[in-house]
Structure 1
Amino acid sequence: MAKVTGLGGVFYVVKDPAATRQWYRDTLGLDGEYGPQMSWSEETGDQPYSLISHFSDDSYMKPGTGGFMINLRVDNLDGFIAQLKEKGVDVLDSVDEGYGKFAWLLDPDGIKIELWEQVEAP
């Protein structure tokens, strides 16, 4: 039986796509011909997964202004936060929930980015 195998991408409208792609390249180290691209083959965690989550309001997406949020997996959240701070990026908050570590920042278009280090298998 055919099935969905993973998240294929996140697509949204911005005022200056080239500037936004440059920010993702410079700030998060993500680059690609059509925008930030990640290869699942680089993931080394135990049973890595992606999630599509639904909310009844946009309070979790605040202070983002897009009505949605992008969650990006990272392999070492503490190290990545240190790299962001070296670049002068404002990290809004971070927390360790036990099953995973999280941190948040805004991209140049006001979209909330959630960074996630998966700590245990689902």
Structure 2
Amino acid sequence: MTNYYYLASDQKLGLGNASLDFVETEPWMIPGFDYPVQREIFNGVEKEWELRELLQYIRNYTAPHKVCSVQVAHLINSNLVELSVQKKSSLQLHEIVDPKQLMLQEGHMLTINKVPISQ
């Protein structure tokens, strides 16, 4: 069994940088996701620097869009257990003030919505 972070979005995800072990996948659906999964992060995201890199990736990716959504889930990939989301939560991108907010328990998914901020 291996820990993975899966990323899906309503827009095409970019490649990112080489500091996280991103793997581009053909878009496919995992039960519980609203959008096709486009990226995997092998061995998950556990260290503080990895969380910072993931948040920076999400901010960079969403920068050119006024409105978009990114879904991030921590799932175990195993031949013994079917991939599926057990618990969902959501945040607006501007509400993420600490990269540790991206630390997810196994089976959890976070939907991050970028929306225009009222002045």
TM-score tier after normalising by the smaller chain length: under 0.3
Which is greater in Rg?
Answer: 1
TM-score, length-scaled by structure 2: 0.27
- Which structure features the higher share of strand residues? 2
TM-score, length-scaled by structure 1: 0.27
